[in-house]
């Protein structure tokens, strides 16, 4: 099993505190040492970093910890390989372009004997179940909409598609196109919203406390989605099994 981290923010925010907790789980406080990756949207632009080294010991991860990249949408992943060798092309997050937008996807879970019919132009580069699922989702989204639909429309289409993947195994994932963050739980996922009035938070995996009141403005707001809670003194909400949530401007969208 891998570990996921997603941020959806009302204003560009750096992920140093949360990424630091995740990074420790990549080979230091936990056993997810088979590579890691992180994607940052800047408007329509994207920075994607992937690495086969364990996140806890990767020079690139250490550089990113010190170098504050601010973004409204961030997806990170530390990998414990279940299917597919430890190679760069099997490292999450995966990225494709659809409707003139980058799409980024990271998966935690295990899809057994999952060989979807990929008859369109989305084909995997590596050999993971995860990238096959991502390609199938994009293929079906592209068939359902001729151009970029609204976030609620996309959410409805995803809800219709997900049961076809979920029946093959566990399928916790994060997906973003820089406009919204979709988070789907099949076995394990948690989230919280950090907003005014901001409080302290202390990482579980490292001796680091942040007073978010000191580093944020009142208009700032961030939704954080993770596999297991990153901090010991914040209130995390568990997703229900089978739940798909979509986050916009740092808040879950209700009713979609």
Q: Smallest gap, in angstroms, from Cβ of residue 111 to a second copy?
A: 19
3-state SS of 56-121? HHCHHHHHHHHCCCEEEEEEEEECCCCCCCCCHHHCCCEEEEECCEEEEEEEEEEECCCCCCCCCC
Q: Smallest gap, in angstroms, from Cβ of residue 100 to a second copy?
A: 4
Cα 75 versus chain centre, distance: 4
Q: Smallest gap, in angstroms, from Cβ of residue 172 to a second copy?
A: 23
Provide the binding-site residues for a second copy, judged by CB under 8 A.
42-51, 59-60, 63, 67, 87-91, 96-102, 120-126, 142
* Identity of the residue, 50 or 55, whose beta carbon is nearer to a second copy in the bound complex: 50
Is 9 one of the catalytic residues?
no
Residue with tokens 């996140």: 55
Residue with tokens 């302290």: 200
* Identity of the residue, 97 or 199, whose beta carbon is nearer to a second copy in the bound complex: 97
- DSSP structure string for 207-248: S-EEEHHHH--TT-EEEEEESS-SBSSS--EEPPTT-EEEEE
Q: Which of 60, 73, 77, 72 is nearest to 19 (CA)?
A: 77
* Identity of the residue, 26 or 170, whose beta carbon is nearer to a second copy in the bound complex: 26
**Assign residue 138 a region: left if phi > 0, alpha if psi is -120 to 50, beta otherwise?**
alpha
* Identity of the residue, 99 or 236, whose beta carbon is nearer to a second copy in the bound complex: 99
Pairing of strands 45-51, 251-252: unpaired
* Identity of the residue, 46 or 189, whose beta carbon is nearer to a second copy in the bound complex: 46
Q: Smallest gap, in angstroms, from Cβ of residue 184 to a second copy?
A: 23
Q: Smallest gap, in angstroms, from Cβ of residue 243 to a second copy?
A: 30
Work out the end-to-end distance of the chain between its first and last CA atoms, rounded to an integer number of angstroms. 29
Cite the active site residues: 2
């Amino acid at each position: 099993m891998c570990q996921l981290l997603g941020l959806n923010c009302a204003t560009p925010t750096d992920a140093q505190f949360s990424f630091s907790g995740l990074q420790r789980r990549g080979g230091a406080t936990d056993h997810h040492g088979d590579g890691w990756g992180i994607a940052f949207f800047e408007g329509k632009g994207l920075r994607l970093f992937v690495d086969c080294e364990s996140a806890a010991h990767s020079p690139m991860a250490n550089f990113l910890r010190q170098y504050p990249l601010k973004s409204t949408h961030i997806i990170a992943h530390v990998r414990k390989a279940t299917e597919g060798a430890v190679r760069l092309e099997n490292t999450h997050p995966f990225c494709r372009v659809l409707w003139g937008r980058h799409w980024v996807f990271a998966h935690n879970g295990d899809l057994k004997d999952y060989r979807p019919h990929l008859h369109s132009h989305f084909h995997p580069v590596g050999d993971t179940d995860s990238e096959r699922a991502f390609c199938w989702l994009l293929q079906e989204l592209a068939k359902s909409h001729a151009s970029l639909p609204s976030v609620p429309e996309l959410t409805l289409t995803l809800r219709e598609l997900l049961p076809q993947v979920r029946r093959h195994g566990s399928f916790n994932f994060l997906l973003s196109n820089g406009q919204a963050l979709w988070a789907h739980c099949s076995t394990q996922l948690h989230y919280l919203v950090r907003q005014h009035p901001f409080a302290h938070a202390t990482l579980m995996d490292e001796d680091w406390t942040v007073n978010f009141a000191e580093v944020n403005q009142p208009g700032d707001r961030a939704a954080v989605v993770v596999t297991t809670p990153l901090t010991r003194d914040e209130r995390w909400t568990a997703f229900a099994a089978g739940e798909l949530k979509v986050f916009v401007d740092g808040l879950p969208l209700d009713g979609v």
